[in-house]
Amino acid sequence: MKTKNSAYLVLTIIFVILSVIGGYFLYQIATNSKTSPQVTIPEVTPIPTNIPTITLVPIASASPTASSSSKVSPTPTKIATPTATPTKKVTPTAIPTKNETDKPTSTLITYKSDEDGFTVQHLSTRKVYQDTEDSGQRYTFYLYGGNFAIHVSSNDQWAWVTPDRNFSGNFLVSGQNTYRYDISTQTIVDIQYNGKNYTLQCIHNGKTSLKTECEEFISSFQFF
């Protein structure tokens, strides 16, 4: 009987020891699971599957009727051949250039308007046209590259509008005070005489020869 009790006691002690050991390991596992750091996984935006196709259009495209497989021959660019000094001395034939034909020998012609009482001198290469405009009469002295004109209106109208029209004796035309307006492309001179307003206009576009002709045109203007 004593032997059985000893065996039970030994088994009980072993069971208690195993229970303690098992409990310890369970405690360690539970502790480790609580102290493990949390890892955050970032969200990744999925790549769209429906990516649009971009068609590149060439700058110089082929003719719409041409096949896509056919080769298109580019149009050759004309390159001006530079003038070179010839190795042999050749006597060239004199050919009039465009400038020479456009500018034949000119003479001065006096234009007279009995209606508006003035005379003015102009080159014979200019053609004269008289017509009307809203403010009155207009005399156009036409030449390709730059026209001259004389506008005549009644005393209460002008061919153009400006707030700075002040007459002075700094620039006289036919002995009269004037208002002169100059910009890079034209010269305008206003004159008042005998109840009428006169505007002399030169469109010279900044060209030296036309500016010189303009000054001569204005200085030749005379009342009678």
Q: Which residue has the higher pLDDT, 6 or 35?
A: 6
Cα separation of 9 and 3, whole Å? 10
Q: Which residue has the tokens 């006169």?
A: 198
Contacts of residue 176, defined as CB under 8 A and 6 or more positions apart, other chains included, come to 191, 192, 193, 223
DSSP 8-state class, residue 115: T
Full residue range of the structural domain in which residue 156 is found: 106-223
- pLDDT of 6: 73
Q: Give pTM, 2 decimals.
A: 0.55
In a domain, 215, yes or no: yes
With a cut of 50, say whether residue 57 has pLDDT above it.
no
- The verdict on residue 57 lying in a domain is no
- Mean pLDDT of all residues in the chain? 76
121, 138 contact by CB (below 8 A): no
Residues 91-125 as b or e (16 or more Cβ within 10 Å = b):
eeeeeeeeeeeeeeeeeeeebebeebebebebbeb
**The tokens of 54 are what?**
């971009």
188 or 56, which is more confident: 188
Q: Is 153 domain-assigned?
A: yes
pLDDT at 135 over 80: yes
pLDDT for res 26:
78
Report how far residue 140's alpha carbon sits from residue 130's, in angstroms, rounded to the nearest whole number: 6
Query: Which has the higher per-residue pLDDT, 25 or 92?
Result: 25
Let me know if residue 122 belongs to a domain: yes
Question: Do the domain assignments include residue 48?
Answer: no
Residue 40: inside a domain, yes or no? no
Enclosing H/E stretch for 210? helix 208-219
Give a yes or no: residue 74 inside a domain: no
Instruction: Give me the number of domains the chain comprises.
Output: 1
Sequence-distant contacts of 112-119: CB under 8 A, at least 24 apart: 113/139, 113/152, 116/152, 116/196, 116/198, 117/194, 117/196, 117/223, 117/224, 118/150, 118/174, 118/198, 118/221, 118/222, 118/223, 118/224, 119/220, 119/221, 119/222, 119/224
Q: Are 213 and 106 in contact (CB under 8 A)?
A: no
Q: Report the pLDDT value the prediction gives residue 114, as an integer from 0 to 100.
A: 97
CATH of the domain at 218: 3.40.1000.10
In the predicted model, is pLDDT for residue 49 greater than 90?
no
Q: Give domain status of residue 26, yes or no.
A: no
Which residues, including other chains, have CB under 8 Å from residue 148's CB and lie 6 or more apart? 122, 126, 140, 141, 200, 201, 202, 203, 214, 217
